[in-house]
């Protein structure tokens, strides 16, 4: 067909071809749209690494970018342990794992129930993981789990009394890695171990001044050099997500220092490296919730302008490319640099805020987080004990009622009245 059209144009001129001018005018626009789509799709991972026998823990691996990361690692032979809030008996998880095994030809995909909205659940899993001799193999931890409260939404808290963005996006990861730290440090020195944090450029709008800013000096204390103090931003659903990501980024760099400071018994340098990954804006449930403000009207607008979102937002698979780059690029392995890299578009970038590298701010955040975990776990323990007691009382009441009913049935009485057809009633009759 193109050959005949070219011959017709050559011998008979352009005007002899039907609709030739509208077609020629449309081609540049289609080419421009194609180039724009390539640009917004982002960079692709060009690194490869043998992932067979590697044990990888993944949070948030059932949807969005996390799902694409799991597929990418599993297709390369990695052993995946999904940390999911769903019960292991949930049909969704069973079918999801079966599909992953079939599509990636990898049977080494399992799941563990870990609800990041519960610090008790996180502790149960992490302590079970490290309670093993010799230490279990652990090559990589990929933290993709996220939640986001729409700007127009209300502040939501977990059962332990912590704001949901703060707990799921940051505090649960802090708690998990704090407990898993011995397992990471105990890995053999020849093993390439990586901890990959999923972050977001929104961290530049976060505010941790209420935590990291030094307290004011008392009036009778010794004079100190003047310092600039700022008023913390008032907490709201609009900045909750950004603040949680700022805390996660700050903690990630502190965690690298925490690992590097450990002196191994064999005097070999620490072999665990921390990498932060910003996948960019992707067509994920979280991004959709943010764009729609969590409202039906916003969802309608989102659907109307979906071609625009398809053009300017990455697919989850392209968002996962930076995670795969962080997982497989050789330079991020053991013995290469000090760790704490920020990856975006499959390349190393500088942090947008200098305060994330401030050691004093990192120490204050770490101490604050430890206190918060301790207090939240105490509240959770009290609530669980109370719920257990109430359940026991209900069970005892039900057992007592059942025994009373059995007794009444046995003696032929019902609610204190003689039962119809009893021997005495027949005798009177």
Task: With beta carbons less than 8 A apart as the criterion, state whether 343 and 276 touch.
Answer: yes
Centroid of chain to Cα 314: 18
What's the mean pLDDT in 69-82?
A: 95
Task: With beta carbons less than 8 A apart as the criterion, state whether 285 and 63 touch.
Answer: yes
> Residue 225: its pLDDT value, please?
47
Task: With beta carbons less than 8 A apart as the criterion, state whether 116 and 167 touch.
Answer: yes
Query: Strand pairing partners for 23?
Result: none
Write the pLDDT tens digit of every residue in 318-369. Answer: 999 999 999 999 888 866 668 899 999 999 999 988 889 999 999 999 999 9
Burial class (CB in 10 A: 0-12, 13-18, 19+), 427: exposed
Q: What is the band of 293 on the pLDDT scale with cuts at 50, 70, 90?
A: confident
Q: Phi and psi dihedrals of 413, rounded to 5?
A: -120, 155
Q: Take residue 345 and report the two structure tokens written for it.
A: 């578009």
List the catalytic residue out of 54, 245, 314, 344: 245
> Residue 228: its pLDDT value, please?
46
> Residue 60: its pLDDT value, please?
92
Write the pLDDT tens digit of every residue in 111-168. Answer: 999 999 999 999 999 999 999 878 899 999 999 998 888 766 677 888 888 999 999 9
Q: What is the band of 222 on the pLDDT scale with cuts at 50, 70, 90?
A: low
Distance, in Å, from the CA atom of 125 to the CA atom of 137, rounded to the nearest integer, reads 15
Distance, in Å, from the CA atom of 374 to the CA atom of 274, rounded to the nearest integer, reads 25
Structural domains of the chain ordered from first start: 55-207+237-366 (3.40.50.720)
Specify the higher pLDDT residue, 426 or 89.
Answer: 89
Task: Indicate if 128 belongs to the active site.
Answer: no
In the three-class reduction of DSSP (H, G, I as helix; E, B as strand; rest coil), residue 109 is classed as: strand
Q: Phi and psi dihedrals of 110, rounded to 5?
A: -130, 180
- Please report the DSSP string for 43-99 in residue order: ---------TT-EEEEESTTSHHHHHHHHHHHHTTPEEEEEESS-TT-HHHHHHHHH
Distance, in Å, from the CA atom of 25 to the CA atom of 301, rounded to the nearest integer, reads 30
């Amino acid at each position: 067909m193109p050959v005949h059209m070219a011959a017709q144009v050559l011998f008979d001129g352009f005007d002899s071809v039907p609709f030739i001018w509208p077609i020629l005018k449309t081609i540049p626009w289609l080419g421009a749209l194609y180039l724009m789509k390539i640009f917004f799709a982002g960079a692709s991972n060009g690194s490869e690494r043998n992932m067979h026998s590697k044990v990888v823990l993944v949070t948030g691996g059932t949807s969005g970018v996390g799902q694409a990361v799991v597929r990418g690692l599993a297709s390369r032979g990695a052993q995946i342990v999904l940390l999911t809030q769903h019960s292991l008996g949930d049909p969704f998880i069973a079918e999801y794992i079966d599909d992953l095994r079939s599509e990636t030809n990898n049977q080494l995909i399992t799941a563990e129930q870990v609800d990041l909205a519960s610090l008790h659940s996180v502790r149960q899993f992490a302590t079970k993981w490290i309670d093993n001799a010799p230490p279990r193999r652990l090559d990589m931890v990929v933290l993709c789990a996220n939640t986001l409260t729409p700007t127009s939404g209300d502040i939501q808290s977990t059962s332990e009394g912590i704001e949901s963005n703060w707990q799921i996006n940051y505090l649960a990861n802090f708690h998990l890695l704090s407990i898993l730290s011995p397992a990471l440090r105990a890995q053999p020195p020849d093993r390439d171990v990586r901890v990959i944090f999923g972050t977001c450029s929104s961290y530049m709008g976060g505010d941790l001044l209420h935590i990291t800013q030094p307290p004011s000096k008392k009036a009778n204390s010794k004079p100190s050099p003047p310092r600039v103090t700022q008023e913390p931003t008032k907490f709201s659903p609009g900045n909750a997500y950004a603040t949680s990501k700022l805390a996660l980024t700050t903690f990630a760099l502190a965690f690298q220092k925490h690992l590097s400071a450990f002196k191994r018994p064999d005097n070999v340098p620490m072999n665990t490296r921390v990498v932060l990954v910003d996948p960019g804006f992707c067509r994920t449930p979280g991004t959709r919730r943010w764009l729609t403000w969590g409202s039906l009207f916003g969802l309608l607008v989102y659907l109307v302008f979906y071609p625009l979102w398809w053009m300017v937002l990455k697919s989850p698979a392209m968002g996962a490319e930076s995670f795969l780059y962080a997982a497989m690029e050789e330079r991020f392995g053991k013995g290469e640099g000090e760790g704490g890299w920020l990856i975006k578009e499959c390349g190393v970038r500088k942090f947008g805020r200098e305060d994330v590298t401030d050691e004093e701010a990192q120490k204050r955040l770490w101490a604050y987080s430890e206190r918060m975990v301790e207090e939240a776990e105490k509240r959770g323990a009290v609530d669980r004990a109370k719920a257990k007691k109430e359940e026991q009382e209900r069970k005892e009441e039900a057992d007592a009622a059942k025994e009373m009913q059995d007794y009444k049935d046995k003696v032929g009485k019902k609610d204190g009245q003689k039962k119809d057809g009893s021997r005495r009633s027949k005798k009177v009759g």
